[in-house]
Amino acid sequence: MKLEENQEDDFRLGALLREWQPEADWSKRRQAAVWDHIAAGESSTAPFISIWLSRLNEWLLRPQGAIVVLLVFALVGSGLGWVSGQYRLDRHSQTMTAQYIGSIDPYQMKPALFP
Amino acid sequence: MRRIRLLLLGGVALATATFFCFHAAQTRAIHEVETAPLPELAWLKSEFRLSDAEFKEVQRLHDAYLPQCGEMCLRIQEKNMEIRESLERADNTGVDVRMALREAALLRAECQGKMLEHFRRVSRAMPQEQGRRYFDWVVERTLLLDEGMPMPDSGRFSP
């Protein structure tokens, strides 16, 4: 008896859910309001970036700002030059090691080195 | 804006200049070594910080050792050919091969003995600390060269 009542309730609930349609307001006025809201959100970050950029601009135009920037460039250039020189030195050292060992060890000597 | 562009351009120029300065300073020794008559010996001089007199002695020892080394090379080649021929012989019973292999091992021992003697002489021609460093360095790359068999302390043993 109770099972039959439950089945009847489920059937009614199913029918109600099928009939239900959300009534959203997708009118042009509503859409414009949504876009305005998004634009307002974006414009709130714009002043922050422009303030930050103008401060950076001012700082770079000052002598100490320019000196710091030039120092950073000089440091980056010298660091990269040092690393690249070190890499070339290591490669050269490996080549010279192989060449020296090849000249003194008959078991590693290249065939072209002897008649 | 124009001043900032100029500043950035100046920065890039400065970075390029410092890059080449540091690179050239680091690799100046390479140029000196490569223009020497025997680059490997010139490199040895700079690597083991030898004075001109020490380098002269090392060079003399090297020149005296080279003919011995060349002779050893020829003997090794001949022995290898002998082993190959005895392996390829149709009526091979294994006796010839074993004998040739034994001779090759004796030749290797003789050759390594001569190498060791040369390394000792060269290391003695260097300042004590550098001589010790040279000896360890050269022995590691010649006599103790790992040819596939892992050394007990090389850390390549599987646990």
Candidates A67, A105, A110, partner chain B, best to mutate (most B CBs within 10 A): A105
Interface predicted TM-score of the whole assembly (ipTM), two decimals: 0.81
Instruction: Convert the pLDDT of each residue in B55-98 to its tens digit.
Output: 999 999 999 999 988 898 889 989 888 888 888 875 656 777 88
Q: Which of B121, B8, B83, B149 is nearest to A76 (CA)?
A: B8
pTM across the whole model? 0.67
CA distance A63 to B9: 16
Residue pair B9/A69 in contact by the 8 Å Cβ criterion: no
Q: Using CB atoms within 10 Å of the CB of residue A86, give its burial: 0 to 12 exposed, 13 to 18 middle, 19+ buried.
A: middle
From the CA of A45, how many Å to the nearest CA of chain B? 23
A85 close contact with B: CB closer than 8 A: yes
A31 close contact with B: CB closer than 8 A: no
B17 close contact with A: CB closer than 8 A: yes
Q: What's the one-letter identity of residue B82?
A: E
CA distance B153 to B156: 8
Which positions ≥6 away from B12 have C-beta within 8 Å?
A: A73
Instruction: Convert the pLDDT of each residue in B80-91 to its tens digit.
Output: 888 888 888 756
